[in-house]
Amino acid sequence: MLGVIGAPSIDALFDEIPAQLRIDALSDVPPGLSEMEVMQLMQARARSDGRPLCFIGAGAYEHHIPAAVWALVSRGEFYSAYTPYQAEASQGTLQSIYEYQTMLASLTGMEVCNASMYEGATALAEAVLMAVRSNRRSHSARVLLPQGLHPHYRAVARSMALNQGVSLEELPYDGETGQTAAAVLAPYQGQDITAVVIAQPNFFGVFEDVDALTDQAHALGALVVAVVNPTSLALMRPPGSWGQKGANIAAGDGQPLGCPLSAGGPYFGFLCTRLEHVRQMPGRLVGRTLDLDGRPGFTLTLQAREQHIRRAKATSNICTNQGLLMLAGTIYLALLGPEGLERIASLCMQRTAELAEALCRIPAVRARFTAPGFHEIVLALDRPVAPVLAALDALGIQGGFDLSEHYPELGHALLTCATEMRTSADIDAYARALRVVLAEAP
């Protein structure tokens, strides 16, 4: 090969690089391992981490993933394919995305859905920026976010909005119900508000009065950005049906649909909207069209808004999406169907109710909010939560998420969750362990 190139050595191929920049070896990297050795290392580390019993939600939920999902997603033709820029060679990927777009648009009650964002928090941030672009009548770029929205989602929105002149203001929640009352929008009457974000359920697991909030927001001239849990949409009226006119944009995390918890990612974000806003929507879009012979086929479309064409004026800098996870979500939904998704969602609610009941029988524990919710609940303890969680952890139980850092006003508060995967025996085990932990001196 070197003969064909006309170079004396491989090193000669690097001769355009200044000699002082070339290194002789990577000193701080260990030598290579065989596959067997690496797998032994990984298995040992995995074993040492083990599989504690999980009662944490807070934005990521442990659901059963049908075996067929990852058997199909792991096929090399999906796993090792690239972005479908050569449409004729990528009809598998493109058609599955079209099916995904259809399912998520329907689930959220919207007209279009894009081919995924990174995850829920960035999807919301992009939805906020999209709302600012789309609301022609508003010039303030003021966006209202509920405090009852996931604290990490609010943090990410801040990181992304900071440099784009968008101001984020927070709406309080009711300390009794845990809900965001529609009345909190009243003080903004007559002001220029660009968008209002409504989470359903909210971070506390509580159901919001989305119709009143949506109508009040629209009355302010603001666009409504919905943040929703996709499993809950099997049972809940979707954002497209909220209030008189429906939400304008819906976003959220698709993790519950076929994505393993995997320590935080990869998941996928979904972003859906009405046709009138489609050109303001970032990310890829797949459309169905005809080929030269008049046969239907699929292709990426409306690409002129994206970074590779519009560059500095693109709707976003997003290029890589979460394609493989979006496929997992599509196959998950195809396998469950409407009946399966409803049953999962109902079972989650039931298990969480059982969990709440079992734990609240313990004197030191009571439900913190009065409004009904989906599959998470905030419990008030009579003592700091962190040591309780640590003690439960040592017993192999992950009891939930400590709210005291982000919501100090709630006192000793714990957000806990039981999905369809938690059996009655699991819930029993948690309750027994908690009794033991709490019986120790406070």
The secondary structure of residue 440, as a DSSP letter, is S
What does residue 189 show for φ and ψ, rounded to 5 degrees? -50, 135
With beta carbons less than 8 A apart as the criterion, state whether 222 and 135 touch.
yes
261 binds another protein (CB under 8 A): yes
Q: For the purposes of burial, counting CB atoms within 10 Å of the CB of 148, is it exposed (0-12), middle (13-18) or buried (19 or more)?
A: buried
361 binds another protein (CB under 8 A): no
Nearest CB to another protein, comparing residues 188 and 328:
328
Among 292, 425, 440, 441, binds another protein (CB under 8 A): 292
Among 195, 234, 385, 438, binds another protein (CB under 8 A): 234
**Closest among 221, 220, 225, 216 to 243, alpha carbons compared:** 216
Among 289, 383, 432, 436, binds another protein (CB under 8 A): 289
Q: How far is residue 256's CA from residue 231's CA, in Å, rounded to a whole number?
A: 7
Which residue has tokens 């943090």?
155
Among 302, 362, 367, 395, binds another protein (CB under 8 A): 302
Kindly indicate which of the ranges 54-62, 179-187, 189-197, 221-229 contains the residues binding another protein, using the contact rule CB under 8 A.
54-62
Kindly indicate which of the ranges 167-175, 177-185, 317-325, 361-369 contains the residues binding another protein, using the contact rule CB under 8 A.
317-325
244 binds another protein (CB under 8 A): no
2 binds another protein (CB under 8 A): yes
221 binds another protein (CB under 8 A): no
| Binding residues with another protein: total (CB under 8 A) | 194
145 binds another protein (CB under 8 A): no
Q: Smallest distance, Å, CB 100 to another protein?
A: 10
Identify residues 403-432 at the interface with another protein (CB under 8 A).
420
Identify residues 165-194 at the interface with another protein (CB under 8 A).
165
Among 147, 181, 287, 391, binds another protein (CB under 8 A): 287
With beta carbons less than 8 A apart as the criterion, state whether 38 and 411 touch.
no
With beta carbons less than 8 A apart as the criterion, state whether 325 and 264 touch.
no
Among 225, 331, 379, 433, binds another protein (CB under 8 A): 331
Question: How many residues make up the chain in this entry?
Answer: 442
SS3 of 345, please? helix
Neighbours of 30 (CB within 10 A): 6
Nearest CB to another protein, comparing residues 314 and 367:
314
47 binds another protein (CB under 8 A): yes
54 binds another protein (CB under 8 A): yes
248 binds another protein (CB under 8 A): no
Could you tell me whether strands 365-367 and 296-300 are parallel, antiparallel, or unpaired per DSSP bridges?
Answer: unpaired
What does residue 97 show for φ and ψ, rounded to 5 degrees? -70, -40
Structure tokens at 342: 């409803």
Among 183, 309, 436, 439, binds another protein (CB under 8 A): 309
**Closest among 91, 42, 93, 103 to 72, alpha carbons compared:** 93
Identify residues 55-114 at the interface with another protein (CB under 8 A).
56, 58-60, 62, 66, 68, 70-72, 74-84, 86-93, 95-99, 101-103, 105-107, 111-113
SS3 of 142, please? strand
Q: Smallest distance, Å, CB 13 to another protein?
A: 5
Kindly indicate which of the ranges 140-148, 185-193, 220-228, 309-317 contains the residues binding another protein, using the contact rule CB under 8 A.
309-317
Q: How far is residue 323's CA from residue 114's CA, in Å, rounded to a whole number?
A: 11
With beta carbons less than 8 A apart as the criterion, state whether 322 and 116 touch.
yes
378 binds another protein (CB under 8 A): no
